[in-house]
Each structure stands twice: as C-alpha cells, then as structure tokens.
C-alpha cells in the first residue's frame, strides 16, 4: 500500500526516527532486580555496595523523570534538564557518600549501560533499506551518557545508515517540545513540513511532532489509537512495516 496515496502523508525529504521501542529494544533495565553491582564493578567501581547503588539509581531516576515530565507538547522551548550524572551525584551526596573520580565514572556508566538496549539484525537491515532512499536521523530522549548507545550503533552498523543522532542529554532539548524537532530539522537543513517523524509513542513522538509542523507515522504494535487516531497522519505495525510502506511509495 502506497502511504502517499492512501494517507495524509507527502513524500518527506528527511525521516526522523525515535530510538527506544522503534529500533532499539531491551532498554531501561532499571529496578530492584537489576545487578547494578556487577555492572558497576565490571566498569571499575569499588566504593559503592549494592544497596548504595540501588538507592542512588532509584532516587536519581525519580528526579530525572520529574524533569522530563515537566515538558509538554504545547511548549515551544524545552524546560531546563540536567544530566543524569548530576542527579546521581546529588543523591550520593545526600547519602553522605564520598566518591572517587573512578567511582563517579563507573556510576555514570552503570546508569548508561542499563538505559541502553540492543538493535537486532531485522531493524538494522530495515534501517539500511530506508536509508538508501531517504536521509534518516535519530531523535531520542536519552537520560544518561550516550556512550553505550553509540557503541551499539557502531557495533551493529546502524550508525552507517544515519545522517545524525540527536540525544536530549546532549542537545538539551527533549520531545515533546517543538524546539527538539526543529533543532534536528535545522541541523539537517530540511524544513519541518518536509520531515517525517516515526515513533512508538503517539503523544511524545507523533502528535508532538505534528504540532511542531512535521508529519508523523505512529508504530502501533497492535494498539488502538482511540480518539487520538484522527490526529495521526499515518500508522504502521512496527518499524519494518513502516519501512515497507514508505518504500512502496518510492
């Protein structure tokens, strides 16, 4: 089915994709069941025990989520957000824990490792197919350091299909605020109206992008959009399905 004749889409000059639950999965591995101590020690940390790590990461997550949830799709400008390591350091200080430089680095990398997921071959190959026909960039709300996400991108070959990778923790802008979408469009020298956002979060990725002047394609994974369906330009089951739809119109 050609999406440019069967939906409201027009052929884009740039495709922007979400990362988590779009091409990367098994991410955000946080919670009391997670082996933070094993990760931390493998990354060179020595000064914290398991209880310390779970307290610091759990409380740090609460603060990070509160900052990100302060953003809404009606905002033109993103609120002030701080690095995950700021919140982790603040919580360690609250617990009266003195950390060496090595321990601070290991703590930040532990958080980043558990936030990161994996990109399987199907999604890498789908991305490569899409990139042969369209410029593609990633826009992701990433809380921590992008170190492991970039490693996964490089190791799987996904990075070779991307014109740019934009993380909220680096650009200091976040979805659903308009400036995050506009920043990517401006960086890639394509107007918002000639850009298409693909993602799994109907509010954060799609409706917000459309309010910012982009087109949107929602990955439903079998979910029903409900009353918000009328606000979505196009729908696909998942990312490989979205790629098949878009390439059918080339």
Residue 45 burial class via C-beta count within 10 angstroms: exposed 0-12, middle 13-18, buried 19 and up: buried
pTM over 0.75: yes
Higher pLDDT, 187 or 228: 187
User: In the structure, what pLDDT confidence band is assigned to residue 106 with cuts at 50, 70 and 90?
Assistant: very high
Report the 10 Å Cβ neighbour count for 111. 28
pLDDT tens per residue, range 50-81: 999 999 999 999 999 998 988 877 789 999 88
Cα-trace Rg, the chain? 19
Indicate if the pLDDT at residue 1 is higher than 70: no
What mean pLDDT do residues 71-94 have?
A: 90
CATH number of 3-26+118-248: 3.40.50.1000
The domain limits of the chain are 3-26+118-248, 36-115
How large is the average pLDDT for residues 22-37? 97
pLDDT of residue 250 exceeding 60, the answer is no
Contact status, residue 84 vs residue 60, Cβ threshold 8 Å: yes
pLDDT at residue 230, rounded to an integer: 81
Let me know how long the chain is.
250
Neighbours of 110 (CB within 10 A): 26
- Closest by CA to 173, choosing from 86, 67, 23, 102, is 67
């Amino acid at each position: 089915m050609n999406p440019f004749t069967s939906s409201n889409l027009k052929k884009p000059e740039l495709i922007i994709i979400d990362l988590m639950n779009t091409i990367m999965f098994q991410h955000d591995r946080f919670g009391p069941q997670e082996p933070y101590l094993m990760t931390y020690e493998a990354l060179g940390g020595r000064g914290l025990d398991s209880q310390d790590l779970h307290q610091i990461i759990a409380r740090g997550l609460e603060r990070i989520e509160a900052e990100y949830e302060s953003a809404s799709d009606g905002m033109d400008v993103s609120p002030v957000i701080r690095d995950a390591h700021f919140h982790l350091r603040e919580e360690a200080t609250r617990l009266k824990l003195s950390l060496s430089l090595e321990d601070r680095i290991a703590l930040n990398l532990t958080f980043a490792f558990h936030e990161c997921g994996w990109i399987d071959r199907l999604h890498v190959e789908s991305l490569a197919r899409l990139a042969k026909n369209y410029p593609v960039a990633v826009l992701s709300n990433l809380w921590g350091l992008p170190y492991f996400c970039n490693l996964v991108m490089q190791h799987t070959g996904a990075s070779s299909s991307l014109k740019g990778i934009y993380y909220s923790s680096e650009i200091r802008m976040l979805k659903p605020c308009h400036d995050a979408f506009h920043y990517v469009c401006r960086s890639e020298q394509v107007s918002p109206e000639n850009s298409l956002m693909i993602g799994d979060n109907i509010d954060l990725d799609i409706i917000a992008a459309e309010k910012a002047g982009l087109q949107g394609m929602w990955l439903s994974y079998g979910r029903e959009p409900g009353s918000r369906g009328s606000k979505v330009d196009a729908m696909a089951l998942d990312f490989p399905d979205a790629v098949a739809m878009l390439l059918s119109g080339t």
